[in-house]
């Protein structure tokens, strides 16, 4: 796996330790990106990328999940629970 882009792991680790800043992911991500020196070519993937897109950047899987949860994006494909029960 490739190494994560500059500042990405530090940014997410900061958010683990500083929950009050997590809201910035949705309201002002650029301020976080600037603070941690996130490269310009990575920012769009952080804003809208899927779990697989983020993993391809070399972001640790545990940090990918945290990032997606805090940014309000699903961490895995949704399926209705009745799908499971309907097959039994």
Question: Domain residues of the chain, as ranges?
Answer: 8-86
Whole-angstrom Cα distance, residue 77 to residue 74? 7
Whole-angstrom Cα distance, residue 84 to residue 37? 44
pTM: 0.81
Q: CA torsion sign, 62 to 67 to 72 to 77?
A: negative
**Model confidence pLDDT, tens digit, residues 32-44:** 999 999 999 999 9
**Model confidence pLDDT, tens digit, residues 49-88:** 998 999 999 999 999 999 999 999 876 665 555 555 555 4
**pLDDT for res 2:** 78
The DSSP secondary-structure symbol of 72 reads T
**pLDDT for res 74:** 72
Residues 73-81: contacts with CB within 8 Å, 24+ apart?
A: 75/51, 76/51
Is residue 2 within 8 Å of 58, Cβ to Cβ? yes
């Amino acid at each position: 796996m490739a190494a994560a882009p500059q500042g990405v792991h530090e940014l997410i680790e900061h958010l683990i330790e500083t929950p009050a800043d997590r809201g910035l992911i949705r309201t002002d991500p650029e301020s976080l990106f600037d603070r941690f020196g996130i490269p310009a070519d990575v920012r769009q993937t952080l804003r809208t990328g899927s779990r697989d897109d983020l993993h391809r950047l070399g972001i640790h899987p545990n940090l990918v999940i945290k990032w997606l949860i805090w940014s309000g994006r699903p961490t895995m494909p949704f399926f209705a629970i009745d799908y499971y029960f309907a097959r039994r």
